């Protein structure tokens, strides 16, 4: 029998008042039911918000070291359960075992990192204009934070939102994506077992339109942190702005990698291939455009096609090079873009087909896909695909490459492969992107530095991770003391 999971509210695991559930299945084999979760209602969400509001003052008054101890203990528990967490993530999201292990370890590391941040959390002292006065700043929590997380990093993204929120004294209501909510639920279990007080963290599953809308509009919610599509993020921002809630948005990307003649082409192929086809292209930072100088375009194209065709595709538990799409609907979107690119006149160099025979029979598999002869006006050069589809765009010089890189409504991650210091410096200065990589793939982030985008990839007001994560979840009080 599939495991029946429940919501977590006020320190208890509870069913939804609706009595309804939804099913999570393995993307590699639809017959493998991973679990069933509550299809929660507006009332369930309001109950969770009320519990968070009731617990907030006591949690805010809990010492930083004590809050850090709980996060650290949760990290230890997660480490002890790492194998279980990895298998859960693979079965519900489809990542390869190696990719899932890296993500789970990142979540563990985040818990440890913010455990130490909680211990050091405080303000600053500034000199006053008079000798008998002191001025200090004091960081305080915002209150109740609503966290809305996606399916593509189902444990890492909840961790990098939860940990700074809890470390700084906020209480939380977490709503994970319905395609892959069980990894987040198991993260909540680790925090519960670490001794998190009732009401400090609440977990509710179900429809985004019901739970998300309730979180965004509820008077008791002070902050919203959202990761997902730009379309949904715009709605979240507009609704939250009506109540002047603090909002953090991380949304889509159309990430370029520029390849210049000075680059080692073999290295460029590996960098672009890993960025485009890793995690099945299901990353907001995935490389979807290779912008290649004409002098090395043919060599690069031959190499990246060979790279794509060499990838072993299969069930994530077998640890191949690339796993399936998370769902049939996501697979269909990628296949639709293959048709769109063909209709627009791009040249299909390799891939483009679903895999459905033999071991692929009940999974959501697609071949890694490469298109050449891509024009910047084509939809595959402008719209986020969220699958293993790479557009190769040929350019004549660096200035054109930079213009093409910036010729999109998104600005999340960008990279350049070059040995020319002038080009590298001009790219770092000129590219319109929140993350810039030099001779590295567009994917992959350090947990202690800010992360976020420009243009339609973010609202640009607040970054995530590192000190930026602390800043988002806190407000500053300035204290004047005349002694």
C-alpha radius of gyration, the chain, whole number? 23
Q: Residue 86's beta-bridge partner residues?
A: none
**Using an 8 Å Cβ cutoff, are 51 and 199 in contact?**
yes
Between the CA of residue 318 and those of 25, 90, 94, 314, 483, what are the distances in Å?
17, 10, 11, 7, 68
d(CA 391, CA 374): 6
**Distance of CA 425 to CAs 261, 406, 418, 449, Å?**
16, 16, 11, 20
Residue 386 region, left (φ>0) first, then alpha (ψ -120 to 50), else beta? left
- What DSSP assignment string belongs to 298-348? HHHHHHHHHHHHH--B--GGG--SB---SSHHHHHHHHHHHHHHHHHT-EE
Q: How far apart are CA 42 and CA 305, in angstroms?
A: 49
Catalytic-residue membership of 103: no
Which residues lie across from 417 on neighbouring strands? 259
CB 218 within 8 A of CB 188: no
Q: What are phi and psi of 292, to 5 degrees?
A: -120, 130
Q: How far is CA 271 from CA 17, 432, 440, in A?
A: 49, 20, 6
Given a contact cutoff of 8 angstroms between Cβ atoms, the answer to whether 389 and 334 are in contact is yes
DSSP 373: S
Q: For the chain, what is the largest distance between any 2 Cα atoms, rounded to a whole number of angstroms?
A: 80
Contact 158, 174 (CB under 8 A): yes
Crossing angle, helix 208-217 and helix 230-241, to 10 degrees? Answer: 30
Nearest in space to 360 (alpha carbons), one of 304, 318, 389, 305? 318
Q: Are 320 and 448 in contact (CB under 8 A)?
A: no
Q: Which of 93, 250, 349, 367 is catalytic?
A: 250
Q: Which residues are catalytic?
A: 250
């Amino acid at each position: 029998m599939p495991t029946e999971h429940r919501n977590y509210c006020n320190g208890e695991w509870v069913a939804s008042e609706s009595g309804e559930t939804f099913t999570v299945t393995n993307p590699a084999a639809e017959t493998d039911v991973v679990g069933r979760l509550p299809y929660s209602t507006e009332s369930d969400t309001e109950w969770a918000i009320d519990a968070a509001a009731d617990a907030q003052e006591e949690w805010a008054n809990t010492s930083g070291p004590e809050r850090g101890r709980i996060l650290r203990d949760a990290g230890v528990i997660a480490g002890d359960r790492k194998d279980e967490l990895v298998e859960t993530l693979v079965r519900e999201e489809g990542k390869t075992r190696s990719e899932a292990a890296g993500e789970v370890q990142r979540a563990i590391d985040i818990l440890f990192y913010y455990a130490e941040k909680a211990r050091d959390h405080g303000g600053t002292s500034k000199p006053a204009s008079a000798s008998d006065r002191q001025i200090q700043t004091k960081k305080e929590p915002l209150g109740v934070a609503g966290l809305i997380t996606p399916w593509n990093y189902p444990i890492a993204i909840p961790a990098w939102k939860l940990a700074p929120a809890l470390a700084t004294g906020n209480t939380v209501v977490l709503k994970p994506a319905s395609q892959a909510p069980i990894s987040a639920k198991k993260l909540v279990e680790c925090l519960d077992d670490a001794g998190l007080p009732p009401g400090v963290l609440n977990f509710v599953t179900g429809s985004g339109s019901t739970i998300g809308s309730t979180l965004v509009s509820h008077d008791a919610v002070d902050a919203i942190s959202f990761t997902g599509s730009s379309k949904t993020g715009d709605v979240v921002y507009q609704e939250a702005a009506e109540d002047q809630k603090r909002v953090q948005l991380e949304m889509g990307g159309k990430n370029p990698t520029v390849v210049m003649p000075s680059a080692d082409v073999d290295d460029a192929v590996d960098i672009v291939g890993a960025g485009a086809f890793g995690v099945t292209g299901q990353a907001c930072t995935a490389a979807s455009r290779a912008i290649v100088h004409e002098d090395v375009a043919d060599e690069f194209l031959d190499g990246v096609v060979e790279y794509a065709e060499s990838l072993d595709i299969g069930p994530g538990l077998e640890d191949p090079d690339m796993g399936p799409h998370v769902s049939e609907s996501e697979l269909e979107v990628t296949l639709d873009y293959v048709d769109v690119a063909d209709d627009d006149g791009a040249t299909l160099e390799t891939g483009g087909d679903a895999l459905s025979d033999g071991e692929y029979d009940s999974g959501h598999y697609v071949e890694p896909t490469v298109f050449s002869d891509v024009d910047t006006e084509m939809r595959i050069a402008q719209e986020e695909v969220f699958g293993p589809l790479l557009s190769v765009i040929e350019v004549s010089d660096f200035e054109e490459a930079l213009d093409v890189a910036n010729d999109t409504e998104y600005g999340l991650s960008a990279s350049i492969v070059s040995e020319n210091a002038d080009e590298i410096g001009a790219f770092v200065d000129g590219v319109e992107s929140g993350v810039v990589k030099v001779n590295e793939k567009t994917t992959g982030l350090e947990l202690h530095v800010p992360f976020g985008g420009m243009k339609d990839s973010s609202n640009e007001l607040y970054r995530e991770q590192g000190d930026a994560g602390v800043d988002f979840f806190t407000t500053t009080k300035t204290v004047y003391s005349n002694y």
